[in-house]
Amino acid sequence: MEGIRIIELPPARMATSGDRELDEFDTWWSNVDKERKDRFYPRDFMWFDEEKRSLVWFYALPDGVTDSGGYDVADFPGGLYAAAISRDKDDIDGERVFAGIKEWVKNSGVFALDERPGYYTMFHVITPDEVYQAMGFRQLEIYVPVKLKSR
């Protein structure tokens, strides 16, 4: 599968939606996000909590932000991720890309899946509103945790 990139996400303090309403969390973090000065990487990521069978949203708190809006804060460990793009809200394409990432990792000879607790496959919508309006769909970046294989 072409188009897979390996990135490293830094350790961070992340506010988490936990069991609370995703729309409420979206409103809170979107307002906090408007205040940050950098735009070099996304700070919000979603993942599926297998135990609770629900989506959870993370938001990496910018430096200096101490008010988590009443949301729990978790220490995100950071790490390596294999990432690729799918079409947002297209589960078939998302599953295709996810399977393709896992197959690429398996065949890479360099990486293995990192399946430790606290390392989740996450995703992030990357398409700005004006691009969405022009294209008619959004792109979703899928992040699968990986580690270097032992040599």
The DSSP secondary structure of 6-66, one letter per residue, reads EEEEPPEEEEE-TTS-HHHHHHHHHHHHTT-S--SS--EEEEEETTTTEEEEEEEPPTT--
The answer to whether the pTM exceeds 0.85 is: yes
Coil, helix or strand at residue 32: helix
Q: What is the pLDDT of residues 129-139, one digit of tens each?
A: 999 999 999 99
Flag whether pLDDT at 1 surpasses 60: no
Q: What is the pLDDT of residue 131?
A: 94
Is the pLDDT at 151 greater than 70? The verdict is: no
**CA 125, CA 102: separation in Å to the nearest integer?**
20
Segment 119-128, tens digit of pLDDT: 899 999 999 8
Residue 59 has pLDDT above 80, yes or no: yes
